[in-house]
A and B are shown apart, each in its own frame.
Chain A
């Protein structure tokens, strides 16, 4: 009887776990540890990283590079895999196998994970650069735990930290001569390439006659670039067939024209759940799923294009501040309204500041970039795309390490030495840059004194 009971229990357990394994909505049972802040949104889409059941480290590596490879290439990765595949570095690889992302970034070990998702001890630079003080006497008493401090070094992206860059920009004043962010110019680029498009009037709205469309909605639409570019109601609301009317068009409708915006949106934390394309489609991200402080009233808001932009009006001003602060409730966000950046934005909106001089949440976190600098899966896009200044919709692209923001954002207005100090000052970041840096990074002096 005892053996019969054991057998029965074993069979039941096998059936239960087997069912869990193949019923993908039960994937949570197989999570082997809490995932990192970078991946927790897609932790139930196991196939995103574990692309095959018995793949091993090479397939995991493929998964890493399929999402992060383009970013590393644009960053001119300081430690590419090719540095470590040369047999002459075999001894180094024995110490630290830097050919694979997962050597330093082990997933499902939240308790051991440091900044940037690194799971190695923070002094890992020691493995290869133990004798750095012989070349750089200034580094004599610097602990190896400080190598990656803000304003010093990054493992991957040193485009704003390499020595000649420090020297070249060492004498810049805190504020530039003509501080402003670049203007978006996609519409101008399209007109230049395809000729002038006749703006639409209310008569061209082309919605089903049976539909009662309010004048407010029509007014909103008429004020948009959509109407200026000849996009009628049908342009967004039409389904597969001419007679289909889609009540609330989603990402796929926007994506038809706004490919770059959609692609970069799905690279960031706002949209990455929608990029998962296996047989387990994930619901859109909500603040409730996030790990930052969020406002309770928006906790279940699902994130798509219209969540931030609003339908019909597609108000870029709203999307640049109001929408962000509708959800984000951390100190940096809450301190924005009282910051010098916000004042500049108010002045620009009121017509008292020059175009581009206002600084919104989006100015820094969703910068306007030339197409060639946007992280795209097809960087070889058309010449028009390469020249057009568009909004990067992956708000995580330049977030960490924060030196990634130096060239893409901060130096549009500020001098390099000021930026280096400001980004190294956590208190200044908390106050949303309301004041002057209280810390000083010595990188520039060390570089210029050599």
Chain B
């Protein structure tokens, strides 16, 4: 993929760090020092994704899978308030994305799938459709592209979202709204889509 013109400024990067993405900010700032012209959108989204992927895996394995599936001390439920349960890993991810969206428009992200339980999480744009198909057909690879939405051009990156714990596969396979019920640990179940607005 060609190196995109850097559009995200250092001040923008500094704002991004305020979201607790300390790992990402560290990478970004060190990248800035070695490349005076700045970092590429892909470096930015790759760094963000590493934080997201790691936090998501920790919550899924160390909290939900351990407490809900292995030790059975608490349930995880979509209706966690009513059920006094743990939020589902997908909800945890979405709540974070919504909180970020309320703080900045310098990037946005969401979790999507070709086999979504909630149909609103199916791919909508052409890049999302192509990207989710690509990461599913090419395990281990990411997909990068550009698209224009609502008159704004975006750098869009799609990263595979993998079943990191047994609870990922079992919950999705057993849910009454799932369009697919043969997931197993290690499968690509969906994708994380990160967008960065490009230039003015």
Contacts and interface: CB of A to CB of B under 8 A. Distances in A.
Interface of A: 76, 80, 82, 85-91, 93-94, 135, 162, 164-165, 450
B1 interface: no
Contacts of B150: 87, 90-91, 93-94
B193 interface: yes
Nearest to B125: A88
A85 to B, nearest CB: 5
B72 to A, nearest CB: 20
Interface of B: 78-79, 81-82, 97-98, 101-102, 105, 108, 110, 119, 124-125, 128, 149-150, 152, 154, 176-177, 193, 195, 197
A87 B119 contact: no
Contacts of B97: 86
B152 A88 contact: no
Max chain A Cβ within 10 angstroms of own Cβ: one of B81, B108, B119, B149:
B149
B149 A87 contact: yes
B124 A89 contact: yes
Contact of A86 (B78, B101, B152, B197): B101
A82 B102 contact: yes
Contact of B124 (A76, A80, A91, A450): A91
A119 B54 CA distance: 45
A87 B108 contact: yes
A85 B104 CA distance: 11
Nearest to A92: B124
A94 B149 CA distance: 10
A166 to B, nearest CB: 12
Given A87-B152, A165-B79, 10 more contacts: A76-B81, A82-B98, A85-B101, A85-B108, A88-B110, A89-B124, A90-B150, A91-B124, A91-B150, A164-B78
A164 B85 CA distance: 14
Closest 10 CB pairs of A and B: A90-B150, A82-B98, A90-B149, A87-B149, A88-B124, A82-B101, A85-B101, A87-B195, A86-B108, A164-B79
Nearest to A407: B82
Given A86-B108, A87-B108, A87-B149, A135 B101 contact: no
Contacts of A88: 110, 124-125, 128, 149, 193, 195
Contacts of A94: 150
Nearest to B128: A88
Contacts of A89: 124
B174 to A, nearest CB: 14
B79 A86 contact: no
A165 B82 contact: yes
Contacts of A90: 149-150, 152
A431 B97 CA distance: 48
B155 to A, nearest CB: 11
13 contacts: A82-B102, A85-B101, A86-B101, A86-B108, A86-B110, A87-B108, A87-B154, A90-B152, A91-B150, A93-B150, A164-B78, A164-B79, A165-B82
Nearest to B112: A88
B98 A450 contact: no
B107 to A, nearest CB: 10
A89 B176 CA distance: 26
Max chain A Cβ within 10 angstroms of own Cβ: one of B78, B98, B176, B197:
B98
Nearest to B98: A82
